[in-house]
Structure formats: C-alpha cells, structure tokens
Amino acid sequence: MSSLLILVPLICVMIINLPPRKIFSKLGFWVALVLSLSQIYSVMTLPLYRWNSSFEIISSNFKFNLLVDSLSLVMLVSISIVLLSALLVARELIRDEKKMLNFLSLLILLQAGMNAVCVITDIFSLYVFIEIISVISFILIAFNKDRDAFEAAFKYIVLSAVATMFMLASIALFLLIAGDTSFMSIKAGLADSQHSLIIMFGVGIFICGLFIKGGVMPFHGWLVDAYSSAPNSVSIMLAGIITKTVGIYTLIRLVSLVFGFDSAARNVLLALGALSIVGGALAALGQNDFKRMLSYSSISQVGYIIIGLGCGSLLGVAGAVFHLFNHSIFKSLLFVNSAAVESQAKTRDMDKICGLAEKMPLTATTSVIATLSAAGVPPFAGFWSKFLIILALWISGYHAYAIIAILASVLTLSYLLTMQRKIFLGKLTSELSNIREAGFGFGFASLILSFIIVGVGLVFPFIINSFLVPFWNFLGV
C-alpha cells in the first residue's frame, strides 16, 4: 500500500503529459487536486498495518523497503495539505495553459518525492529522493525566469551541492562501517564500531547537510532569497513543506532512530535551535518586505523544532513533530495571504500598504489566526506544540533554553502584529480604494488552513495522551 504513495503520482504525471497534450493537460489540475485529497483521506482513515509493505523492483532480490509509522503519517498529511493550498493559489496566478501544465507536473513529482522521503528505510535511497526534490525545487524557484529568482535559485543549488557532498561522504563512511545502507544496519554498525572519530565525523557532516537543506541558522544563506523571490505558489510549498521534509523531518527521523541522542548531539541541536529562534526573530523585526519577513520567521519557527528535538525526550520529540505540522499549516497560511495581498496591492512593501482589512476582511482575519498560532497564543494549535517543547526543556533541566523559547514567542508576536498593523489597519489610501478580496482559490485555501489551526487547537487538549502514545512507540520507549 505504501508503494502507491510513490507510484500513483508518477503514473498521474505521465497521464497528464500524454499526447495530445491539449486534451490531457486540461485534467492536470483535477488530477493534482484528487491526489492531494485522496492522500489526506487515506492517511486519516487507514490503520498503520494497511500501509506497510515491501515494493519489489526488477526482481525479488532487490526490494525497496518502505515503512509508514506515526511520524510518516504526520508528514504525509502535512504534504498533502500544503500542496493542496499551493495548487489552489497557483490556479489563480498561472493563466497560461502550458505553464500551468509544467507547474502541475512538477508539483505532482514533488509529491511523489516527498512521499518517498517519508517512507524510505535506507539512507542512500533517502539521499536520492532528497536530491530529486532539490532539483525540482531549483526549477520551481526560477519558474518565472526573472533575475531575482535566478539569483535565488543559483544560491540554492550551490549550497545544496555542498550539502550533497557532505551527505554522500557520510553515506560512504556508514557503508564502510555497517556494510549496508539500511537504517537498522547503520544503527547496529554505529553501536558496534570502535571507530568513534569516524562515526562522529560521518554523523556530523550528514547532519550539517541536513541543516543546509532545512535552512537552520547559520546554514540559512539561501533560504530568505529563495522564499521571497520564488513565485507565490512556490513560496507556499518551500516554506510550508519542502524544506521541512528534506531537512527537518529527515533530521528527526535519523537522530531519533539511527544516530541517537548523545550529549554532544543534544548540545549542538539545542545551541543551533536557540540561535535560529532568536536570530530569525530579530532579523524578521527589521523587514519591510512581507515575504522576507515571513522567511526569517520560518527560520525562527524551525528553531523551535530543532530545540525540541535536542531535548532527546519523548515529550520533546513529540512537541517537535507537532510543531513541524503546525508550522507547515500556519506558515502556509501566511504565505497564501501574502500572495493574496501582493496580487491585489501589486507590492510586498509593508510601508506602502495600509487599511486592507476594510477591503480584504477574510485575508485580514485569517492572518490574525495564523499570527496568534505562530506566536503560541492559546487556544490555537501553535500554542500546544510550543507548550510541549517548553515543558520538555524545563523537565529536562534546560531552563535557560526554555526561557529563550518563551521570550522569542514575544518577539514573534511583536513582528507579526506589526505586520498586521501596517497592512490591514489604519486608513486606506486612495491608491488602494478599489481593492477587493483576491480570487476564490486564495480564500478557500486560507479558510481550510485556518479551520485546521483552530480545530486542532481546540481538540488537542482532549487527544494529547493519544497523540503521545504513537511517539512513545516510535522512540521504542
């Protein structure tokens, strides 16, 4: 069953590109829509035992071993929700049929690649699919072929190549030590090997590669330009799920199940998580460009995920995974709304926009919901994931990091409320007097994401125990 997560999108890409393309390309949007909705439905309804299988390729001697667990399910539903939102926005922004078909083909391939990353159980295959996603992301960043986008895509591909070098070198070391590239073989090989310096070096450079892919500070040199210069529908995917899948999810998976939580790993994760939280928030405070501010905010929010993982406890890992999901939702919502504002006001400069709440009440209201969730204000979903992370830090004895996480939430609220005040409050200028709400796709995507933020926030206190149990099993506790 899990193999269908990869095979079905690949088949769909081939179908919508069959000749005559004019006939099949008209199905592209609906095919991508059904794929996202069916993945959401399947993940939410099917039990775990229905997902797990071995996918045979070429012969019975070569198998693609796939595994779906609680962490995979969180990522799979996040992927489908974010891609659904990006799809709805893209339909409003891309009018050229050929360009839209190209975008849909890349989006569906992206879905197949990210699904594969979530269910793969060996590190070399994981690397291959991460690189596939990176190449697709490079194309998508430069999709509109403007100068800023080409510059951002170039930065992305150069730093991604550095990450690739780190990851390939470490995989070679793991193969020498373990004799295999499966997660379990590497875990056993690392535990039995006496070459401690080689192990530390291999693990260290692989994690550095993931930090680059995930845009963790100080490895974030490509991220802000890529998020802000990419087409708006692509920014939603980049900020909402792509970097979270190739960098952060993979980090959680490998540190939790393969590399382990030794004291050195914890200290590195905690330090870089705190740096990202504070550095991203301070950088966001000084931004006037809507998308650049949200890009720095993403770095800060990813820091919470890293610092939660750095606890090394059940509560910390569960909080990190939950915040990964929450971040994918509220950050996607903020980028959907930034796309709506830019499409109507024709600018991203927050100093040139004011009073839009009068003309765009839905965008203004959903932005407030995303803002409060990002800042960790109850009862929205973001509060609960930050609460779990801060509680895990405090219980584990990392009191200073817990205080940093709390104070940074105040900074988050500050710059996001400043954004709300600049864009949506105040007196509407004459240049913006004819503005109205953006198209149906923007509004529908923002409503879906807002409903998830509010619904999860209200329901979570009643399901917290059932949420923690799968991660207890995931960590083998």
Mean of pLDDT values over 162-183: 86
Following DSSP, what letter does each residue of 449-464 receive, concatenated? HHHHHHHHHHHHHHHH
**Which of 260, 289, 311 is the endpoint of a domain?**
260
What average pLDDT is seen over the chain? 86
Q: Where does the pLDDT of residue 193 fall: very low under 50, low under 70, confident under 90, or very high at 90 and above?
A: low
Instruction: Give pLDDT tens digits for 115-170.
Output: 999 988 888 889 999 999 999 999 999 888 888 888 888 888 889 899 999 999 98
Do 233 and 189 reside in the same domain of the chain?
yes
Decide which of 469 and 388 is more confident: 388
What digits encode the pLDDT tens for the residues 394-438? Answer: 998 899 999 999 999 888 888 888 888 888 887 777 777 778 887
- On whether both 203 and 84 belong to a single domain, the answer is no
Average pLDDT on 442-458 reads 92
Instruction: Give a yes or no: residue 361 inside a domain.
Output: yes
Query: Do 405 and 343 belong to one domain?
Result: yes
Model confidence at 386, pLDDT cuts 50, 70, 90, reads very high
347 and 471 both lie in a single domain: yes
Backbone angles phi, psi at 96, to 5 degrees: -75, 125
The reply to whether 130 falls in a domain is no
Contact by Cβ (8 Å): 290, 423:
yes
For the residues 102-110, what does the mean pLDDT come to? 91
Q: Does residue 474 carry a pLDDT above 70?
A: no
User: Total domain count for the chain?
Assistant: 3
Q: Confidence class of residue 472 from pLDDT cuts 50, 70 and 90?
A: low
Instruction: Evaluate whether residue 435 is within a structural domain.
Output: yes
Residues 283 and 402 in one domain: yes
- The gap from C-alpha 78 to its chain's centroid, in whole angstroms, comes to 8
In a domain, 124, yes or no: no
What are the contacts of 171-174 at 24+ separation with CB within 8 A? Answer: 171/123, 171/124, 171/127, 171/206, 173/198, 173/201, 173/202, 174/123, 174/202
Domain boundary among 195, 225, 260: 260
Is there a single domain that holds both residue 222 and residue 310? no
- 60 in a structural domain: yes
Residue numbers of the domain that contains 196: 141-260
Residue 257: is its pLDDT beyond 60? yes
Q: Are 153 and 247 in the same domain?
A: yes
What are 453's two structure tokens?
């933020």
Is residue 61 domain-shared with residue 154, that is, in the same domain? no
Beta bridge partners of 64: 55
Provide the pLDDT for residue 393. 92
In a domain, 266, yes or no: no
105 in the same domain as 61: yes
Picking from 260, 288, 303, the residue at the C-terminal end of a domain is: 260
pLDDT single digits (tens) 300-357: 999 999 999 988 888 888 899 999 999 999 999 999 999 998 888 888 888 888 888 8
- Strands in 29-98 per DSSP E: 53-57, 59-66
**Which token pair is 327?**
């971040």
Residue 269, in any domain of the structure: no
**95 in a domain, yes or no?**
yes
pLDDT of residue 262: 78
Asked if 217 and 358 sit in the same domain, the reply is no
Could you report the per-residue pLDDT of 349-380, keeping only the tens digit for each? Answer: 888 888 888 888 898 899 999 999 998 888 89
Please tell me whether residues 195 and 339 are part of one structural domain: no
DSSP H or E segment with residue 164: helix 147-178
Q: Does 207 share its domain with 174?
A: yes
pLDDT score, position 60: 43
